[in-house]
Structure 1
Amino acid sequence: MKRIITVLAVIATLGLTAWTLVNNKKEVEEKVYKPNPDQKVGVRTAVASLQNLSQETEFLGSFSPNREIEIRPQAGGQIVSLPIEEGQTVGAGRLIAKLDDEQLRYQIEGLMVTLEGYQNDLKRYEVLVKGDATPAINLERTQLSIRSTQAQIKQLQKQLANTTVTTPFSGIVTDKMVEKGSVVSVGSPIAKITDISTLKLVVQVPEKAINQFRVGQSLPITTEVYPDARFVGRISMIAAQGDAAHNYPIEITVPNSGKNQLRAGMYGSIANTNKLKGQTLAVPRQAIVGSEKQPQVYVIEQGKAVLKPVSIGTTTNEYYEITKGLNAGDQVVTSGQINLQNGTPVTAQ
Structure 2
Amino acid sequence: MFRETIKKHYKKLLLLSVFVAAILAVIFQLRKNQADIKTEIREELKPVGYNAEAILVKEIPISKAFTYRGTVEPIKTVILSAESDGKITYSGLENGKSVNKGATLLKVDRTIRSSSYRLSQDAYTKAQSDYLKLSELFKSGNASGMEVENAKLAMQNAASQLAVSRKQVGQTTVLSPVNGIIVDRKVNQGEFVSTGTQIGSVACLDSVRITVFVKQEQVGQLKRGDAVSIQSVSSPNIIIKGRIYAVIPVASAASTYPVEIRCTNTKGFALMGGMSVDVQFNQGTIAKVLAVPRTSITKIDTNNAVYVVRGNNSPVLRPIITGKPVGTYLTVSKGLKAGDTVLTKGQLNVGADKKLQQVHIIN
Q: TM-score normalised to the size of structure 1?
A: 0.67
Displacement of 1:144 after TM fit? 0.7
Displacement of 1:214 after TM fit? 4.2
Counterpart residue type for residue 57 of structure 2: S
Report Cα offsets for 1:221-280 as digits up to 9, x if no partner. 3443234x251412151235434445032304154536x944332211133459786354
Alpha-carbon distance change, 45 to 95 in structure 1, aligned in 2, over 3 angstroms? farther
Report Cα offsets for 1:133-176 as digits up to 9, x if no partner. 45321221111111111111112211221211111233333332
Counterpart residue type for residue 140 of structure 1: E
1:331 paired to 2:343: yes
User: Mind listing any 5+ residue stretches in structure 2 that lack a counterpart?
Assistant: 1-44, 356-363
1:183 paired to 2:157: no
Helix, strand or coil at the partner of 1:92: coil
- 1:148 maps to 157
Asked if the contact 1:233–1:255 (Cα under 8 Å) also holds between the matched residues in 2, the reply is: no
- 1:224 maps to 233
- 1:250 maps to 260
Asked if the contact 1:171–1:193 (Cα under 8 Å) also holds between the matched residues in 2, the reply is: yes
Matches of 2:339 and 2:138 in 1, distance apart? Answer: 114
Q: List aligned pairs for 1:219-298, cutoff 5 A.
A: 219-227=228-236, 229-244=237-252, 245=255, 247-253=257-263, 255=265, 257=267, 261-272=270-281, 278=288, 280=290, 282=292, 284=294, 287=297, 289-290=299-300, 296-298=305-307
1:320 paired to 2:336: no
Alpha-carbon distance change, 207 to 130 in structure 1, aligned in 2, over 3 angstroms? same
Helix, strand or coil at the partner of 1:330: strand
Which of 164, 167, 183 matches 1:158? 167
Alpha-carbon distance change, 87 to 133 in structure 1, aligned in 2, over 3 angstroms? same
Asked if the contact 2:214–2:257 (Cα under 8 Å) also holds between the matched residues in 1, the reply is: yes
- 2:38 maps to none
Structure possessing the higher radius of gyration over alpha carbons = 2
Displacement of 1:210 after TM fit? 2.6
Asked if the contact 2:248–2:257 (Cα under 8 Å) also holds between the matched residues in 1, the reply is: no
Asked if the contact 1:81–1:180 (Cα under 8 Å) also holds between the matched residues in 2, the reply is: yes
Identity level (%): 16
- 1:51 maps to 59
- 2:7 maps to none
Q: TM-score normalised to the size of structure 2?
A: 0.65
Matches of 2:244 and 2:177 in 1, distance apart? Answer: 23
Displacement of 1:178 after TM fit? 0.6
Asked if the contact 1:77–1:184 (Cα under 8 Å) also holds between the matched residues in 2, the reply is: yes
Matches of 2:291 and 2:338 in 1, distance apart? Answer: 8
1:167 paired to 2:176: yes
- 1:109 maps to 118
Matches of 1:326 and 1:103 in 2, distance apart? Answer: 88
- 2:37 maps to none
Helix, strand or coil at the partner of 2:341: coil
User: Mind listing any 5+ residue stretches in structure 1 that lack a counterpart?
Assistant: 1-36
Aligned residue pairs, count: 301
Matches of 2:72 and 2:353 in 1, distance apart? Answer: 55
Counterpart residue type for residue 341 of structure 2: G
